[in-house]
Amino acid sequence: MEVKKVYQYIKFSYDGAFTITNKYDFLNLNQFDFKWVLLKDGIAVDSASIAVPSVAPDSSFSFQPALPEMDANGHEFLLNIKATLKSPSRWADAGYLVAAEQIPISKKPRFHKIYDRAAFAAPAAMTQSNDSLLITGPGFAITFNKKSGLLTSLQYNHQEQIYNAEGPVFNWYRSIDNDVRRFSKTNISVKDFSVSTNATDKTILVKTKMEADITREKAVFPYEVTYTIYPNGKIKVASTFHTGNGYMPPRFGLRMSLVPQSEQVNWYGRGPFENYPDRKSGAFLGIYHKTVTEMGHEHYVHAQSMGEREDTRWVSLTNAQNKGLKVVSLDHLSFSALHFTDNNAWQAFHDFALDSVSQPQVYLTLDCLQRGLGNASCGPQPLEQYEMPKNATLRYSFLIAPAE
């Protein structure tokens, strides 16, 4: 799908007016049907056909669609345009998609209000011991291990969301045929753990300074994770990573394990198929659904890292009753949700062996940045703009909340 998108001979652009350009050498655009679809926050709200006249090769046609009134305050509007075959041909039926584009109509909005400060008299309750910190409030309970610095339990409406106390932790490993990496044990240690309250905002702030030691590569990466707990149980997670100048991992982010019931995945981001920093122009923004099991069915002959979704606005993982958690990006985010780790996939070697390494829990990766895929199994490394930056500080933040 990505190659098809890049190679398509019908080009679409927007510069005050929408323009369709015919890059074919011999075909006229009157052989195709054109249509636009307007998306509001990933949901189609309007559509219409486009009356495209005869457009000869290397010629263009401009038009202004009759779009409805749009309130871009807090909303994201996107226009999808597609060209399909009017009549059947020797190689495809009528209606076959030949070319498509997605054009932003408004800027990506900032996230909405997290909570109503006036609705709460004080921050959530805290109970501390030498080893743990428990934060409780209406319908939620959050536990941190002060010795490891990790979030180990998250309960919404008495339902545990985190599997086996495996909350967000440094995640760096990825191995693909284009970029083979050795797996290494990673020792995570906490350098500082502090707790404070903000009476004005009625929030609790948990600050952790961590260190990840990738032993096999003799590489150490300091990072910080700050948790802001709101009185309604929502958690803002803000992470900072320092890339250094030595061994460079192919990804910087966090990974957590969710309970096996979190099988239903809905997301607003690029899809429906997997996509990466240098493989995403054909994956349009929208709201999509898959199961965790389905997200692991990419069917590479050589099993490897898979399932990434870029430019994610939000992702929810829920049970059959639509109960679970939702992760909302506050700046930039990509994710994957699988029943096996990247190392499990690489060690399985064959696609048909993935079932043997699959686990009941859900491995949710929340990436700040991944290296581009490149073509190094048979060609060059990623382009410079898709390489991991050296001596850089990477930041991202997201919100964890009950799925609604």
CATH code of the domain in which 281 resides: 2.70.98.10
| Residues 287 and 340 placed together within one structural domain of the fold | yes
Q: Tell me how far the alpha carbon of residue 193 is from its chain's centroid.
A: 28
The band of 72, judged by pLDDT with boundaries at 50, 70 and 90, is confident
CB atoms within 10 A of CB 53: 9
The confidence score (pLDDT) of residue 192 equals 98
- CA 99 – CA 105 distance, rounded (Å): 19
- pLDDT for 110 equals 81
Whether residue 124 sits in one domain with residue 99:
no
In a domain, 112, yes or no: no
Specify the pLDDT at position 338: 98
Q: Which of 71, 104, 137 is the last residue of a domain?
A: 104
What backbone torsions phi and psi does residue 351 show, to the nearest 5 degrees?
-55, -40
Task: Flag whether 132 is in a domain.
Answer: yes
pLDDT, residue 212, reads 98
Residue 379: is its pLDDT beyond 80?
yes
**pLDDT-derived band at 166, boundaries 50, 70, 90:** very high
The domain of 24 spans 2-104
In terms of domains, do 124 and 95 share one? no
Instruction: Say yes or no: 230 and 297 in one domain.
Output: yes
42 with 176, same domain: the answer is no
Is the CB of residue 305 less than 8 Å from the CB of residue 295?
no
109 part of a folded domain = no
pLDDT at 109: 87
Residues 178, 140, single domain; the answer is yes
Q: Which residue, 51, 70, 104, sits at the end of a domain?
A: 104
User: Can you say whether residue 149 is alpha, beta or left, with left for phi > 0 and alpha for psi between -120 and 50 degrees?
Assistant: left
pLDDT per position as a tens digit, 322-348: 999 999 999 999 999 999 999 999 999
Between residues 269 and 16, the one the model is more confident about: 269
SS3 282: coil
Residues 91 and 227 in one domain: no
| Tokens found for residue 71 | 């309130």
Q: How many CA atoms lie within 13 A of 225 on its CB side?
A: 28
DSSP letter for each residue of 137-173: ETTEEEEEETTTTEEEEEEETTEE-BSTT--SEEE--
- Residue 371: Cβ within 10 Å count: 22
The helix (H) or strand (E) run that includes residue 12 is strand 10-14
Asked if residue 110 is part of any domain, the answer here is: no
How would residue 246 be classed by pLDDT, with cut points 50, 70 and 90?
Answer: very high
Other Cβ atoms within 10 Å of 313 Cβ, number: 20
The set of residues, in sequence order, having a beta carbon less than 8 Å from that of 280 and lying 6+ positions away, is 2, 270, 310, 311
Last residue of a domain, which of 77, 104, 131? 104
Give the residue, 205 or 200, on which the prediction is more confident: 205
Residue (of 22, 195, 230, 212) closest to 113 by Cα position: 230
Say how many Å lie between the first and final Cα of the chain, rounded. Answer: 32
Burial per residue of 115-135, b for 16 or more beta-carbon CB atoms within 10 angstroms, e otherwise: beeeebeebbeeeeeeeebeb
- What CATH number did the domain enclosing 67 receive? 2.60.40.10
Please indicate, yes or no, if residue 62 is contained in any of the structural domains.
Answer: yes
Residues 153 and 211 in one domain: yes
Distance CA 102, CA 199 (A): 45
DSSP code at position 123: P
- Judged against a pLDDT cut of 90, whether residue 114 lies above it is answered with no
Q: Is residue 133 part of a domain?
A: yes
Assess whether 93 and 159 both reside in one domain.
no
The pLDDT value recorded for residue 116 is 81
Instruction: Please classify residue 54 by burial: count the beta carbons closer than 10 Å to its beta carbon, then call 0-12 exposed, 13-18 middle and 19+ buried.
Output: exposed
Same domain, 121 and 100: no
Q: What is the pTM of this model?
A: 0.96
> Which whole number is the average pLDDT over 27-41?
97
Residues 70 and 131 in one domain: no
Distances in whole angstroms, Cα of residue 86 to Cα of each of 44, 101, 297? 23, 18, 33
Please give the share of the chain, as a percent, with pLDDT higher than 70: 100
Give the total number of structural domains in the chain. 2
Question: Phi and psi at residue 131, in whole multiples of 5°?
Answer: -105, -25
85 in the same domain as 123: no
